[in-house]
């Protein structure tokens, strides 16, 4: 489905991002695994099916790093066909206790980076007339909110608005922009939670289970590939029914 197409995945060094890299590589894509930790990105690249994959160390919240990635892409002599913006952080606190730093750090990584990365790659796509699919990883928290996560929820809601607006602007330029909204997904963090907390989370989900990282990757593959060629500006909720 993505044979020989160049794909960039931010936050590809671990978790959902790593699973997305695996899924795209298995579908034939050549991956640039972009992550804040180069060792994590390199580890992911080694796990991928096929060859021609590479790791790239980047702080997506810094324009200088995004510009450095732009120069790196020129070495491939082809423009990316897929961009998955998956990098994200949490710095949880209640509104009354949240610091300006906690707010701004999450805003920089979770929202500002999506603007910078999408703008950079879309410009290259339009210039080279290469069809492009941008997939932004938001969260169901951006739709329904969550206690102690005003910063995180605000960024993920912002991703949804950004996705729909960018999709309108770029639709005639052969660039599609969509978002995936994961729900409660099984990760090392959730597995380390006290059983009662985990039970409470699961009880909120109509399907009564956590999602698996691969289920998010499947949704991303659909939006990244030509299977969704007539889909843009949409938000795909992968939540087991949470938030419907």
Residues labelled catalytic: 152
Radius of gyration of the chain (CA): 17
Let me know if 56 is exposed, middle or buried by CB neighbors in 10 A (0-12, 13-18, 19+). Answer: buried
209: left (phi over 0), alpha (psi -120 to 50) or beta: beta
What are the backbone angles phi and psi of residue 19, rounded to the nearest 5°? -65, -35
Token pair 């060859």 is found at 51
| Cα distance between residue 123 and residue 219, in whole Å | 25
Q: How far apart are the first and last CA of the chain?
A: 30
Tell me if 223 sits within 8 A of 231, measured CB to CB. yes
- The one-character DSSP state at 172 is G
Token pair 């939006």 is found at 223
For the record, the structure tokens of 78 come out as: 């082809």
Going by C-alpha positions, the residue among 214, 212, 215, 205 that lies closest to residue 240 is 205
């Amino acid at each position: 489905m993505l044979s020989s197409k160049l794909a960039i995945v931010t936050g590809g060094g671990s978790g959902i991002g790593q699973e997305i890299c695996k899924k795209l590589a298995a579908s034939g894509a050549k991956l640039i695994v972009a992550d804040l930790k180069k060792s994590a990105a390199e580890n992911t690249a080694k796990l991928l099916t096929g060859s021609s994959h590479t790791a790239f160390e980047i702080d997506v919240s810094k324009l200088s790093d995004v510009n450095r990635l732009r120069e790196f892409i020129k070495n491939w002599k082809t423009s990316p066909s897929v961009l998955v913006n998956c990098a994200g952080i949490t710095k949880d606190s209640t509104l009354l206790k949240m610091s300006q730093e906690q707010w701004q750090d999450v805003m920089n990584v979770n929202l500002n980076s999506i603007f910078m990365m999408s703008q950079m790659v879309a410009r290259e796509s339009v210039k080279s007339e290469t069809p492009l699919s941008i997939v932004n990883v938001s969260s169901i928290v951006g739709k329904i909110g969550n206690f102690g996560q005003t910063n995180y929820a605000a960024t993920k809601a912002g991703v949804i608005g950004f996705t729909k607006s960018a999709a309108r602007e770029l639709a005639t330029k052969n660039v599609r922009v969509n978002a995936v909204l994961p729900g409660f997904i099984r990760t090392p963090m959730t597995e380390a939670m006290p059983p009662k907390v985990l039970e409470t989370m699961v009880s909120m989900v109509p399907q009564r289970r956590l999602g698996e990282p691969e289920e998010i990757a499947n949704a991303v593959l659909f939006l990244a590939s030509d299977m969704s060629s007539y889909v843009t500006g949409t938000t795909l909720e992968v939540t087991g029914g949470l938030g419907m």
